[in-house]
Structure 1
Amino acid sequence: MWALQFTPRVAISEDAVLMEVGASTRLFGGRRALRDRVVAEAAELGVQKVAWAPTGLAAHAFARCNIENGFKKPLQELLDRRPMECLSAVRPHATDLAQTGCRTLGDVRARPRHGLARRWGKQLRLAIDQAYGHEPEAFEWEVLPDAFRARLELPFRVEHAPALLQGARRLLVQMCGWLCARHAGTTAFTLHWSHDAMRPRDAGEGGHITVGTADPTRDVEHLCRLLAEHLTKIQLAAPVGDLVLTADQVNDQAGSNGQLFPDESEDGEAPHLVLERIAARVGPQAVKRCVVNEDHRQEWMAHWQPADVPVPRKPAASTDLPQPTWVLPEPLRLAVRNNRPVYQGELQVLAGPQCIEAGWWDRDEEAAAGRLVVRDYWIAESGRAGTLWIFQAKLDDGIAWYLHGIFG
């Protein structure tokens, strides 16, 4: 699942995972950048050897011989020097081939083709041709699962919850690879743990913890930091031997198109990630963010919610008039002279009206009053105060005017 983020062509090849990345190198910044990323992340998953070659069988053979780069010399030259046992198809016949004087793949390849196939089978000759690139290879490509669930048996029993992060990180790397392949991010994942069989009777079979994020993400480092903050608050009832990670909520997340000029703040942590980490440490109610609602009423166009609560994917209410830079906490009632509003002089109406009638369904239970708003908004100009945002309240006597905002 982790490998599927780099290419849709991933196959299980005996004791190895095979990736065909020829069409993906440019997407990941070239061969060197892709190689560095694969090697770094694969090490966290317990991968012991990584190798590259023009063919799948050659790459597998090079990995067994501790040769990473199969492109530094011509493929035939590199393969001819390798022990013949590094190719799986040769192993069953290694003794017979050795008796004929074969020691390397080059020796096997040099034998007459028809005699090789007649004595040791067509599959051996076909494997030799495929390894050298003379015949096409056929693999059964893996299919990306619809849901993520991964299990890890810990190499030793863990008695303290923060120490679970070491094993959980490997599962998180797998999950983020799966999310990347789906072009998605997660807003909630759950880490389950199972207690050791020699646990006390009252300890139970295990436990779990669910971690949420406000925005979909597949950033391994950020998810690890969030999980670490939560694990510091957990007390294990018994030693833990197994971990299971599941992605509970998955949302689409398009990749970045990149920028022509790099942002100087790219190396730093994004502000919303910092807020989520602080919220995990001091509590969700201690850190809040402003969220825009799909509501035309200015007083309820936005609200504050805990930083770790997912932001609703609703667009802001569309308006006909420009919105002011500064909005007053409470509308200020204006004086009226000759049926015209006055604020540091008589106001000149520039644009409007924008008619708003909403909130008949809303009610303030504490004040036992409704929140129905019927207003006509206008843009007006004052010789001293500048451009203002005013409205006429229709529910009053039809004459009352209010100042609600100031344009910067």
Structure 2
Amino acid sequence: MPHRRILSLWFPRLGAERLIRVEPHLGDVPFAIMEEQGPAQVLSSVSEAAAKLGLYSGQPLRDAHAQCADLITRPRAAHREADFLGALHRWAGRFSPWVSSEPPDALVIDLTGCAHLFGGEAALAKQVTQDCADLGLTARLGIADTLGAAWALARYSAQQVGSHRSGDAIDQEARATRSRAGKRRHWERGGTAPGVAAASPSQSRIAPVGQTWSAIGSLPVAALRLEPHTRDQLNRLGLRRISDLLGQPRAGLARRFGRGMVDRLDQAIGSAPEPISPAPPPERFAVRLSFPDPIGLASDVEAALERMLGPLCDKLRTKARGARVMRLEAHRCDGQMCWQTVTGAVASADPQRLRTLLAMKIEALDAGPGIDMLRLEAVQHEPIQARTMAGHAEAAAHGQRRQNQGAALEDLLGRLGARVGMEAITRLHPGASHIPEKGAQVLAAAWSEPAEDWPKSATPRPVLLWPPEPVAGGDGPTPPPRFRWRGRDFSCLQASGPERIAPEWWLDDPAWRSGPRDYWRVETDRGDRLWLFYAHGAALSPGWFCQGSFA
């Protein structure tokens, strides 16, 4: 069995370089990503130009602006950085099928049995570095027998070991001891250990097989992924390098610094296991069809869809999934590609329902000189469950009728959505409020179910509602016999009411600062049935207003 080999790939400027790929001009100026940490704003990622000026991640934003007045910042979008790291996760799959993410800016690749396919570990590391440079990313990598050692080599292989104080720790000792400080060897005071050649960065980050101890022994104790307070305590005791810990009794280290520090040390040298859990690959459902000769007629594309939808829906049903968003790609013989996307009202694995929606997008495809290949993919899919009708014959027949009616409505929504957009089709649902204008909420029809039971009111509600409009009439709470509204004069023939509606006292709604309202249903001489109310004027002047109209 081959020896286990782990590659740790770290992107120290992932956040900044992600935006530089979108806005290339940011790469020529000092640029940084800032985020809020409690009440303070700090830098989460800096560009190479900003790093050359001394800026670093974790630096307060005020200090950064004082140090570099020309600094350009952008707010951090953690979800976009996570999506970008996911794209790099898929790219890293070309080197090994065993890839795991280390949010927010690192990947772990298990190279066991894969390095020889690229000419060895050194050649693979060179290929990874070149690919990252082509992507415009700064990358540091480390290869070792364990994940902890590879993590340490990727981040600390080029870092010098220093003291936690402004001078050497020997300066804090007694005078008699300090007088002999010059006789001490430099590596005992934090310098480079003897026998470690000044190798190139690429060579120093690859630990030979079975030599994990010697590869990470000269690195600082921070390379063990320790907590900051533990790292500071070790530095105060003069334990600055990992080699200083390897010779110490484990029981004493565990009593003084806790079991976590000992576990990190054992994981780095391979005495304790540290498994890698790769993310499962996303389920993809796609089919393609190539043609011996280019096609360009709509009828040919429809015939191709008939052949492609069957296998695609079989794959979806096997996984109990239904396609919500479909993407049809047409690869032309001139090397160009055009596509169309269609969204269904519900997720479905029925070829006929999907074919109806896709047929509406065929005319929008630009065939150009001819189409060599068609590719159909379920871009967004959802789990679906088979419906089983059970019970008495009457109940089963009633349920079947409701199912057929629901399917017809869903097909109608899908066809309308393919033409005007699925977001443009909405439906009303009852709202949890006694305020008239909040009695219904607008939801997207494709992502909601029809409301079955609407709350019944003791008094009828108007068909049309609008914001309250002032009415010129009487001053009292009784409906005026004559009033003027929208530039027209009305006479009140009959009025029914009042219905008092109080505002929501737990909310400060500017539209309801007039206090309680008395609503009346008024029939006028012009045939209009209006919904008038009298505002009693808690914070504003009282008066009459019109808010709706009955059928």
TM (norm. structure 1) is 0.43
More helix by share: 2
Relative contact order (C-alpha < 8 Å, sep 6+): which is higher? Answer: 1
Q: Larger Rg: 1 or 2?
A: 2
TM (norm. structure 2) is 0.33
